[in-house]
Amino acid sequence: MARRSGRRPGNPDTRQAILAAARTAFAERGFDAASIRVIAGAAGVDPALVHHYFGTKEELFRATVDIPVDPADLLPAVLAGDPDRVGERLVRTFLGIWDSPAGAAAVALLRSAVSNEWTARLMREFLVTQVLRRVLDQLDLDPAERPLRGSLVATQVIGLATMRYVIRLEPIASASPETLVAAIGPTVQRYLLGDLA
Amino acid sequence: MARRSGRRPGNPDTRQAILAAARTAFAERGFDAASIRVIAGAAGVDPALVHHYFGTKEELFRATVDIPVDPADLLPAVLAGDPDRVGERLVRTFLGIWDSPAGAAAVALLRSAVSNEWTARLMREFLVTQVLRRVLDQLDLDPAERPLRGSLVATQVIGLATMRYVIRLEPIASASPETLVAAIGPTVQRYLLGDLA
């Protein structure tokens, strides 16, 4: 699931300086407003070196939050197919990531976001710009409704992750993915495309 | 909303010793198996003194998790009335607590539970024995389904709390309670009484 970029690891100190500058910029300005140019300037390097080490701005952002999964790789399969089952597919894909070895990094991000305002900002930016926006842009929705729909989905899937992987409340913690897809898929479906009033 | 017990504060060292023993017992054995007798023994005091300082086992438990709200005071109003709207009433009551001054203690418990296994156990016990069991026992449900239904409710309401009060994802963070009741009430309704298969 992790995409190997094949990029050169580069000088460890320079990499760390770029990551630190990127974390600050993404948390303070948000993903959209934080530019590679600003990040490079803060790290004291040329913008070309940032691209050389980390690739695109999306890839740099995923490196700052230590998430080895690229939502851009996974979401097309969620969005393809019967629109009446997109909620089920989203929950199934989400559980597939969190139940995989990549889940440990996701749990670490969640723990950190809950206890640290800085990481909370990065997690918000990650959810909104890397996951929710990509899903919502592909659905036939009133643009004015998208933010509420997206954040409702976040309450349910992050709550699922919190209870299954962090608090480990039974029987959610050991339920089969398909039990959870059947129970929670319709909730996500309604939040994305159903009647909320 | 907080119930004043009118009990004597007592010797601060003794109180702290009882609270520490109670936290350990509730986290290690669970609420049901942790007895006042065992807690008193671990604290080196007479069981009557535990009751004198803290009241019932439920009251002692709430003191250990620092929650000033007694679910037993609030749940009867949630459970009374039209069963088709119990989900809405539960979300409305939940938001009423978290939006009140008592919410700060709830947010602190949530933050702590996510970063600390000890507090996670206490939070699980609190959710199951003080909230979910009381709700589920009053509904006309197959007993075998109760644990899954209760823990599904927990995923949604704890996810709502995490996003609204901790991560502060917009527009959930500043949405009106009634917007959230309309959107999330039907989810909780389905988890409690609807079709999950």
Closest by Cα among A65, A66, A56 to A5: A56
Residue B178 has pLDDT above 70, yes or no: yes
| The dihedral sign for the CA sequence A161, A163, A164, A165 | positive
Cα–Cα distance list, B21 to A71, A111, B16 (Å): 46, 27, 9
**DSSP string covering B8-55:** ----HHHHHHHHHHHHHHHHHH-TTT--HHHHHHHHTS-HHHHHHHH-
Check A147 against B113: CB less than 8 A apart.
no
What angle (nearest 5°) sits at the alpha carbon of residue A73, between those of residues A87 and A113? 70
Q: Alpha carbon A51 to chain centroid distance?
A: 21
Residues B156 and B162: their CA atoms lie apart, in Å, by 10
**B152 has a pLDDT exceeding 90:** yes
Q: What is the mean pLDDT of residues B90-118?
A: 90
The predicted pLDDT at position A9 comes to 62
Choose among A169, A153, A164, A175: nearest CA to A107: A164
Predicted confidence (pLDDT) at residue A106 exceeds the cutoff of 70: yes
The model's confidence at residue B148, banded by pLDDT at 50, 70 and 90, is: very high
Cβ count near A51 (within 10 Å): 16
Least-confidence region, from A112-116, B125-129, B139-143: A112-116
Whether the per-residue pLDDT at A112 is higher than 50: the answer is yes
> Residue B9 above 70 pLDDT?
no
A115·B111 Cβ contact <8 A: yes
pLDDT in tens, A16-56: 999 999 999 998 888 889 999 999 999 999 999 999 999 99
Burial class (CB in 10 A: 0-12, 13-18, 19+), A44: exposed
Higher local confidence (pLDDT), A6 or B141: B141
Given the structure tokens 């393809």, which residue do they identify? A80
Count of CA atoms in the C-beta half-sphere (13 A) of B174: 3
What count of other Cβ atoms lies within 10 Å of the Cβ of residue B142?
A: 7
Q: How many CB atoms lie within 10 A of CB A178?
A: 12
Residue B6 confidence (pLDDT) above 60: no
The pLDDT tens digits of the residues spanning B114-131 come to 888 888 989 899 989 999
CA distance B150 to chain A (A): 9
Dig out the tokens for B38 from the structure.
């065992």
B7, pLDDT greater than 70 = no
**Mean of the per-residue pLDDT values of chain A:** 91
Q: Which residues contact B107 (CB under 8 A, 6 or more apart)?
A: B98, B161, B165, B166
How far is it, in rounded angstroms, from Cα A1 to Cα A101? 9
Q: Does B4 score more than 50 pLDDT?
A: no
pLDDT band at B1 (very low <50, low <70, confident <90, very high): very low
pLDDT at res. B37: 96
| CA-based nearest residue to A171, from B149, B54, B132, B162 | B149
Overall pTM > 0.95: no
Whether residue A6 has pLDDT greater than 70:
no
CB spacing of B162 vs A158 below 8 angstroms: yes
Beta bridge partner(s), residue B75: none
Same fold, A12-64 and A71-193: no
Residue A2's DSSP bridge partners are A69
Alpha carbon distance, N-terminus to C-terminus of chain B: 38
pLDDT at B110 over 80: yes
- Angle formed by the axes of helices B71-79 and B86-98, nearest 10°: 150
Bridge partners of A69, per DSSP, are A2
pLDDT > 90: percent of chain B = 69
Domain A12-64: CATH class, spelled out: mainly alpha
What pLDDT does A25 receive? 92
Q: How confident is the model at residue A3 (pLDDT cuts 50, 70, 90)?
A: very low
Residue B58 has a CB neighbour count (10 Å cut-off) of 15
- Dihedral angle sign, alpha carbons of residues B164, B168, B171, B175: positive
Q: How far is B184 from chain A (nearest CA, A)?
A: 8
Coil, helix or strand at residue A112: helix
Between CA B151 and CA B192 the distance in angstroms is 10
Question: What percent of chain B has a predicted confidence (pLDDT) above 70?
Answer: 95
Answer with the residue of higher pLDDT: A121 or B183: B183
User: In chain B, which residues touch A (CB < 8 A)?
Assistant: 110-111, 113-115, 120, 123-124, 127-128, 147-148, 151-152, 154-160, 162-164, 166-172, 175, 179, 182-184, 186-187, 190-191, 196-197
- Domain extents in chain B: 12-64, 71-193
Confidence of residue B94 (pLDDT cuts 50, 70, 90): very high
B64-90 mean pLDDT: 91
Q: What is the mean pLDDT of residues A137-144?
A: 92
Contacts of A147 in chain B (CB under 8 A): 170-171
pLDDT tier at B150, thresholds 50, 70, 90: very high
Residue A167 has its nearest CB partner, among B124, B148, B197, at B124
CATH 1.10.357.10 at B71-193, yes or no: yes
